Amino acid sequence: KLEGIRQDTKGGSSGVYKLPMGQIEQSAGFDKLLQDIRSLAEDASGREMECYDVPDCFTLFQNAAAVRELFIKAVEAMGQAATPAVKVVIPKEPLKKPCGVMEKATVAAMAAGSDSVRVDRVCDVVRATLVCREVQQMHAIIEALSRGDNGVRVVRVKDRLSTPAPGGWHDVIVNFYLRGDQDRHVCEVQLVFSRLLEARQYGEAGLGLHEDFTVLRASSE
């Protein structure tokens, strides 16, 4: 029954993103952007084990709170790496809610067929979004991440420009820790195009797509 619900809602919002994403794909430098994202993901492969050593949820949040200010400075510097500078969006809530962390960790354990719930697999307790208007802006950020600017060491990349999320959403998720952080707490930055954000806002306001996404995610989990 849940699979039926998931399939019914899976394509609900994909049409909203089709036009703006098609325009982005036709932009100069898009193919090179995808190539460099793949290279960054390949370079980061295997690095996750450098930072997985968090015994419990309390320690996870303690480490997250300690590194948050350094993270914000690093992300703001990333935004300045592009020309013109991109918009940096920091969530109003300083850290992800504990209930969200436990839900995510539990779902991941179930998907892996494991009885052990590992909170250190949750990488978005400290997070931000970089909103790019042009392909060249996102490319500049990817290049800065590849170089390890601002003390960043990338450990995981989700390329959802090449393979969109259910519902058609496209972005790039980059997880990293800061070399100056002795706890190596893994943070998350989302790279997204402003045209897709605008399309999503339109869809949520006029087409009820936020509800579709909520149903899709819950049924998938």
State pLDDT tens for residues 104-121. Answer: 888 888 888 888 888 988
DSSP-derived pairing of the beta strands 172-178 and 187-193? antiparallel
| Least-confidence region, from 71-75, 91-95, 152-156, 167-171 | 167-171
**What is the bridge-based pairing of β-strands 152-159 and 172-178?**
antiparallel
Distance (Å, whole) CA 221 – CA 215 = 10
The encoded tokens of residue 11 equal 């394509």
Residues 202 and 46: their CA atoms lie apart, in Å, by: 39
Cα(115)–Cα(208) distance, rounded to whole angstroms? 37
Assigned token pair, 87? 């918009």
For residue 15, what are its two tokens? Answer: 């049409």
Residue 21 confidence (pLDDT): 94
Angstrom distance (rounded) from CA 79 to CA 140:
9
Q: What is the pLDDT of residues 166-220, one digit of tens each?
A: 778 999 999 999 999 999 999 999 999 999 999 888 765 544 555 555 554 554 5
Q: What pLDDT is recorded for position 5?
A: 47
pTM (predicted TM-score): 0.87
